[in-house]
Amino acid sequence: MGRPSNKRPVVEPIRRKCATCGKVLLVKHRKWIIPQRGSEYKVPSYNPNTKKKERKEIPGVEVLNFCSIECGGEGFQNTYTEDDFIK
């Protein structure tokens, strides 16, 4: 309801090594690993004014690339949604 469609996460057509099967294929799925509060990492607080910052530049954040949903599906855990950043 009134939510712009450009807020949806988009995976660009890039080729990366799949974190599951190790093949370098078109990335179909990604998993962001966001450190939880209370971890060893210092996590900056998120607010709308900092959403321009690339997530991959946030200390402690890792991204895994998968060649398919199947490769990325097992144990997939999304610790946040885009809406956590944009409110």
User: From CA 86, how far away is CA 44, in angstroms rounded?
Assistant: 15
Cβ of residue 72: shortest distance to Zn ion, in angstroms?
A: 8
Tell whether residue 20 is a contact of Zn ion (CB under 5 A): yes
- Kindly indicate which of the ranges 26-34, 40-48, 67-75, 77-85 contains the residues binding Zn ion, using the contact rule CB under 5 A: 67-75
The number of beta carbons lying within 10 Å of the beta carbon of residue 17 is: 15
Nearer to Zn ion, 34 or 67 (CB): 67
Nearer to Zn ion, 44 or 73 (CB): 73
Q: Mention every residue, 6+ apart, whose C-beta is less than 8 A from residue 9.
A: 82
Q: Which residue from 34, 58, 64, 71 is in contact with Zn ion, where contact means CB under 5 A?
A: 71
Cβ of residue 66: shortest distance to Zn ion, in angstroms?
A: 5
Q: How many CA atoms lie within 13 A of 37 on its CB side?
A: 4
Of 31, 24, 27, 23, which is closest to residue 12 (Cα–Cα)? 27
Binding residues for Zn ion, rule: CB under 5 A, are 18, 20-21, 67, 71
